[in-house]
């Protein structure tokens, strides 16, 4: 039977851990409410920005093809190249203790990387978060850049910094596509790993909501002022920034939800361990008392003899 002193120390240790996990759960829950509000406000704006850019780029492509634009008039932001080289922007957390949050995103990113290599594509990785950085460095992955301090001051400026950095290789022609890999927030208990093409946007298909009898299915007409090039040079970075910011907010909310769920589970597990240790301690104490009584009775019988 285990020593009572050892069991008491284990119970005290588990209770101390339980206090920490309960506090972490409460903090994550409070922060999750704010993160959910940011996502609710951001999602419609991000979706509308994507829709507007899709229509504008479709109109620009149609205009270029109709006018048979020369090479000098071509816009690199509208380039639709065969995808031989991809840039993956992987969004992970800086900290652990959030269940399988980081494991899921790292494994999915690793799978995308390996599948692309098998298909003959070249991959470059841009990493947000220490967990992703450490994971891919251990596997000698082709990391192009690691963005530091994103979660410390999360906001539009961070998204703008990241957007500029990942858009430059596409404009130069070093990569043919940019993909986002992040955890999309569904609920506190559910997060979904998303692999999403960020750029270039595919050619816009006619909207299912458009009535073909009353509205034309062709791309809408736009007048570009002062020029198509300048409009796209402003609109594309805006779309990239908003899309990245939305992904960061989604990832932050997913991390907090995963941490809250993990800490809740850890708190409940600590309670189960405390109950088992308490039962074990009571049995050890009862055994010690019984042993002492037997020794007393044995001594008394020996004296009588």
Please give the positions annotated as active site: 98
Residue-wise over 146-176: b if at least 16 C-beta within 10 A, else e? bbeebbeebeeebbbebbeebbebbeeeebb
Q: What is the CA radius of gyration of the chain?
A: 29
Which residues lie across from 185 on neighbouring strands? 191
**Edge-to-edge, what's the strand order for the sheet holding 177-187?**
143-147, 122-128, 85-91, 177-187, 190-199
- Do residues 181 and 36 make contact, with C-beta atoms less than 8 angstroms apart? no
Task: Give me 253's structure tokens.
Answer: 């909310």
d(C-alpha 289, C-alpha 271), whole Å: 27
**What's the residue count for the chain?**
305
d(C-alpha 166, C-alpha 119), whole Å: 23
d(C-alpha 250, C-alpha 32), whole Å: 11
d(C-alpha 179, C-alpha 76), whole Å: 18
């Amino acid at each position: 039977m285990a020593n009572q002193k050892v069991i008491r120390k284990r119970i005290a240790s588990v209770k101390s851990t339980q206090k920490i996990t309960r506090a972490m759960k409460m903090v994550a829950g409070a922060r999750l409410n704010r993160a959910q509000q940011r996502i609710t406000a951001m999602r419609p704006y991000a979706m509308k920005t994507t829709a507007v850019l899709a229509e504008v780029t479709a109109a620009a492509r149609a205009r270029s093809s109709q006018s048979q634009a020369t090479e000098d008039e071509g816009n690199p932001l509208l380039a639709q190249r065969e995808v031989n080289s991809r840039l993956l922007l992987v969004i992970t957390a800086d900290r652990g203790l959030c269940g399988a949050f980081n494991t899921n995103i790292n494994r999915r990113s690793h799978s995308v990387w390996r599948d692309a290599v098998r298909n003959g594509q070249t991959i470059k990785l841009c990493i947000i978060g220490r967990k992703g950085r450490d994971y891919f460095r251990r596997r000698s992955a082709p990391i192009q850049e690691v963005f530091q301090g994103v979660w410390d001051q999360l906001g539009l400026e961070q998204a703008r910094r990241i957007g500029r950095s990942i858009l430059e290789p596409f404009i130069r022609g070093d990569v043919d596509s940019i993909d986002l890999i992040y955890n999309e927030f569904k609920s506190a208990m559910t997060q979904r790993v998303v692999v999403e093409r960020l750029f270039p946007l595919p050619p816009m298909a006619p909207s299912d909501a458009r009535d073909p009898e009353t509205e034309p299915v062709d791309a809408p007409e736009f007048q570009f002022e002062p020029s198509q090039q300048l409009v796209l040079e402003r609109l594309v970075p805006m779309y990239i920034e908003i899309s990245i910011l939305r992904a960061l907010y989604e990832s932050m909310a997913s991390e907090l939800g995963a941490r809250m769920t993990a800490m809740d589970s850890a708190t409940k597990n600590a309670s189960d361990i405390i109950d088992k240790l308490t039962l074990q301690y009571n049995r050890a104490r009862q055994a010690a008392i019984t042993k002492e009584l037997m020794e007393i009775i044995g001594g008394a019988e020996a004296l009588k003899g």
